[in-house]
Chain A
Amino acid sequence: MSLLALHNINKTFGPLKALTDLSFEIGHSEVVGLLGDNGAGKSTTVNMLSGIHRPSSGYISVDGKRCDFTCRRDSAEAGIETIYQNTALVDCLSISRNIFLGRELTDRFGFLDLKRMREIAMQVLESAVHISGIDSPDKLVGDLSGGQKQAVAIARAVFFKRRVLLLDEPTSALSVRETEALLQQVLKLKDEGVSSVLVTHNLYHAYQVCDRFVIMSHGTKVFDVAKAETTIEELTQHVVLT
């Protein structure tokens, strides 16, 4: 049974048809590359999976059970974490406050348990995410590099035991070395049972880590293939020609 599945999803924004009859699945411990040119509907798909948009028709299922996400919190509860292009972090807050943003550890009256938040943040950053240069959870996120920011976002997903990571163009703002580290991180998480959806333009990055590829064009799926049965040339052709 698939972990996460889209069933015949249509989405319209007024007169604009963004998605047409889109269906695909994400399995357990699987890295899926969601590919396609600009305007293919990749970001709309990600927003729908993370609960920001609702499908006009069709539905999403988690573990075979239909789920209607009405907001970000719903998808988070289903175990989905989205890591955005320009990562959803607040520059003016510290790393530990960012990791726990929206899910703060507090006492009964809502006061923050800063000490525990700091300890856990440091622990997660040391054990789960290996990106150099972060030595204190009190550093402001605004002072970090692009790769370090992604690392913080991933640390957040790891700590909250997410089952699916949606990575929307994660490598576009990263240096070569940071990209490499991020892709390794995705593979490491796969070994731990976390699936990922890698949304990207960059077929080479996708080919490096993905088990399966879903290619979209004009709001619908045009190609769905396992890595073993395809080549990077064939993928390029589908992205360019459809």
Chain B
Amino acid sequence: MTAIVDHRSGAPRRSAAQLVHGLLSMPAGAILLVFVVVQLACIIAGLLFPDDFRYLSPQNMGIMMRSVPVLGCLALGAGLLMIAGEFDLSIGSVYTFTAVVMAVLVGNGIDAFIAAPIGLMIGAAIGLLNGALTLRFNLPSFIVTLGGLLFWRGAVLLFNGAVQVRFDPNPVFNEMFSGTILGINAAFVWFILLCLVFWALLHRHRFGNHVFATGGNRSAATAIGVNTNRIKLAAFAIAGFMAAFAGILATTRVGSVQPGQGAGLELQAIAACVIGGLSLRGGRGSILGVFLGVMLIFTITDVLLLMRAPGFYLDMFIATLIVLASIFNHGLDRRGASI
């Protein structure tokens, strides 16, 4: 009898250990575990102390859903590019630049439904330019896009001066990007949709297979017949496009563009990717990881705000999270290489 009981209690424990092990060896497994634990802790705390810790209040949920998509969209583009083995530091500036262009166009009487695609095209074109420079002259994309960061930041001031631009689109446009759909913030719906599109593209489409191959082992991919230059160019263009899309979401939500609003966002986007398990050397990562990385940054920010922590704690916590995540990922990389 005791033997049976022992057997029974042993089996699920072993399978639970296997489950955890399997989860940790998944590209985004560890971050998923951390995310679930943090969410559960927040929800329990929210239920226990509904007055002091308003995590579950509709206002807080609304703030979360409004603030996630901008960084989320930037991180999706930056993440795809990182998996292809390149960086884009200019996305923060591109985000501001395309938003300013779009807002000025709308201010001059052009319909937002025409101005927004123009912004997206400019974003993609700047991405292509970054890619072309990187590949043509065989430079590190870090340097090229560092140039891009400064250049487009300056271009914002050249284009419209250091003044705030009002953005007053038609109501349909407004409703589409900052209204609510079935009670959910529209920007958040866009973000979720884009996550699904990126997931399909990266994990279920030929393009994604080539992106992983290009970032993972470029010479092998070339030898097999993948056009790695074209893949990298496309990834750069997508990163620029997503930066412009983030610009649309942010501008519609706030109703104006500040010339300095994108500063530092590119680093936050890369941070979200690193937390989500993307390798800085490329070839490793998942869209689920990027999504969770973004969500985790905002959840922790949110928790600290709800606990009325001073602002500098936010940066310190996120910094710690980045370093911990990369230590963990580095361990995974090394383990993979040593086998």
A220 CB within 8 Å of chain B: no
- Contact for B213 among A101, A106, A143, CB less than 8 A: A101
With a cutoff of 8 Å between Cβ atoms, the chain A residues found around residue B215 in the complex are 92
User: Are B209 and A91 in contact, CB atoms less than 8 angstroms apart?
Assistant: no
User: Are B217 and A89 in contact, CB atoms less than 8 angstroms apart?
Assistant: yes
User: Are B223 and A84 in contact, CB atoms less than 8 angstroms apart?
Assistant: yes
B207 CB within 8 Å of chain A: yes
B212 CB within 8 Å of chain A: yes
B150 CB within 8 Å of chain A: no
With a cutoff of 8 Å between Cβ atoms, the chain A residues found around residue B204 in the complex are 111-112, 114
Majority SS at the chain A contact face: loop
- Once A111-B200, A112-B204, A140-B336 are accepted as A-B contacts, the answer to whether A92 and B221 lie under 8 Å apart by CB is no
How far, in Å, is A127 (CB) from chain B's closest CB?
A: 22
- Contact for A102 among B200, B226, B336, CB less than 8 A: B226
With a cutoff of 8 Å between Cβ atoms, the chain A residues found around residue B127 in the complex are none
User: Are A88 and B212 in contact, CB atoms less than 8 angstroms apart?
Assistant: no
- Contact for A90 among B205, B212, B339, CB less than 8 A: B212
- Once A52-B223, A97-B209 are accepted as A-B contacts, the answer to whether A91 and B216 lie under 8 Å apart by CB is yes
CA distance A50 to B222 in the complex (A): 12
B20 CB within 8 Å of chain A: no
- Once A76-B225, A92-B284, A111-B200 are accepted as A-B contacts, the answer to whether A104 and B217 lie under 8 Å apart by CB is no
B1 CB within 8 Å of chain A: no
How far, in Å, is B313 (CB) from chain A's closest CB?
A: 36
User: Are B225 and A93 in contact, CB atoms less than 8 angstroms apart?
Assistant: no
> Which residues of chain B in 201-256 are interfacial with respect to chain A, using CB atoms and an 8 Å cutoff?
204-207, 209-210, 212-213, 215-217, 219-226
A110 CB within 8 Å of chain B: yes
With a cutoff of 8 Å between Cβ atoms, the chain B residues found around residue A92 in the complex are 212, 215-217, 283-284
User: Are B205 and A102 in contact, CB atoms less than 8 angstroms apart?
Assistant: no
With a cutoff of 8 Å between Cβ atoms, the chain A residues found around residue B200 in the complex are 111
User: Are A101 and B223 in contact, CB atoms less than 8 angstroms apart?
Assistant: no
A82 CB within 8 Å of chain B: yes
User: Are B207 and A110 in contact, CB atoms less than 8 angstroms apart?
Assistant: yes
User: Are B336 and A90 in contact, CB atoms less than 8 angstroms apart?
Assistant: no
A71 CB within 8 Å of chain B: yes
User: Are B223 and A93 in contact, CB atoms less than 8 angstroms apart?
Assistant: no
> Which residues of chain B in 242-291 are interfacial with respect to chain A, using CB atoms and an 8 Å cutoff?
283-284
With a cutoff of 8 Å between Cβ atoms, the chain A residues found around residue B205 in the complex are 106, 110-112
User: Are A101 and B221 in contact, CB atoms less than 8 angstroms apart?
Assistant: yes
With a cutoff of 8 Å between Cβ atoms, the chain A residues found around residue B210 in the complex are 101-102
With a cutoff of 8 Å between Cβ atoms, the chain B residues found around residue A84 in the complex are 220, 223
A142 CB within 8 Å of chain B: yes
User: Are A90 and B213 in contact, CB atoms less than 8 angstroms apart?
Assistant: yes
CA distance A118 to B283 in the complex (A): 21
- Once A104-B206, A111-B205, A143-B336 are accepted as A-B contacts, the answer to whether A72 and B217 lie under 8 Å apart by CB is no
- Contact for A82 among B206, B223, B336, B337, CB less than 8 A: B223
User: Are A72 and B209 in contact, CB atoms less than 8 angstroms apart?
Assistant: no
- Once A101-B226, A140-B336 are accepted as A-B contacts, the answer to whether A90 and B221 lie under 8 Å apart by CB is yes
CA distance A101 to B206 in the complex (A): 9
- Once A88-B220, A89-B217 are accepted as A-B contacts, the answer to whether A72 and B225 lie under 8 Å apart by CB is yes
A218 CB within 8 Å of chain B: no
- Once A111-B204, A114-B204, A140-B336 are accepted as A-B contacts, the answer to whether A88 and B209 lie under 8 Å apart by CB is no
Total chain B interface residues with beta-carbon distance under 8 A: 25
Interface-centre pick from B206, B213, B222 (highest chain A CB count, 10 A): B206
How far, in Å, is B76 (CB) from chain A's closest CB?
A: 19
- Contact for B220 among A90, A103, A143, CB less than 8 A: A90
A130 CB within 8 Å of chain B: no
CA distance A143 to B220 in the complex (A): 17
- Once A93-B209, A93-B216, A106-B206 are accepted as A-B contacts, the answer to whether A143 and B222 lie under 8 Å apart by CB is no
CA distance A112 to B215 in the complex (A): 19
- Contact for A91 among B219, B222, B224, B336, CB less than 8 A: B336
Question: Across the two chains, which residue of chain B brings its CB closest to A87?
Answer: B220
User: Are B339 and A143 in contact, CB atoms less than 8 angstroms apart?
Assistant: yes
How far, in Å, is B276 (CB) from chain A's closest CB?
A: 15
A73 CB within 8 Å of chain B: yes
User: Are A101 and B209 in contact, CB atoms less than 8 angstroms apart?
Assistant: yes
CA distance A55 to B220 in the complex (A): 22
Question: Across the two chains, which residue of chain A brings its CB closest to B283?
Answer: A92
With a cutoff of 8 Å between Cβ atoms, the chain B residues found around residue A82 in the complex are 223
User: Are B339 and A101 in contact, CB atoms less than 8 angstroms apart?
Assistant: no
Interface flags for B38-64 (1: CB within 8 Å of A; 0: not) read 000000000000000000000000000
- List 6 tightest A-B contacts by C-beta distance, closest first: A92-B216, A88-B220, A88-B223, A102-B225, A92-B283, A90-B216
Binding site for A on B (CB under 8 A): 200, 204-207, 209-210, 212-213, 215-217, 219-226, 283-284, 336-337, 339
Binding site for B on A (CB under 8 A): 50, 52, 71-73, 76, 82, 84, 87-93, 97, 100-104, 106, 110-112, 114, 140, 142-143
Instruction: Kindly list 17 other residue pairs between chains A and B, CB separation below 8 angstroms, not including A92-B215, A97-B212, A112-B204.
Output: A72-B224, A73-B225, A82-B223, A84-B220, A84-B223, A88-B217, A88-B220, A88-B223, A88-B224, A89-B217, A90-B213, A93-B209, A93-B213, A102-B213, A103-B225, A111-B206, A143-B336
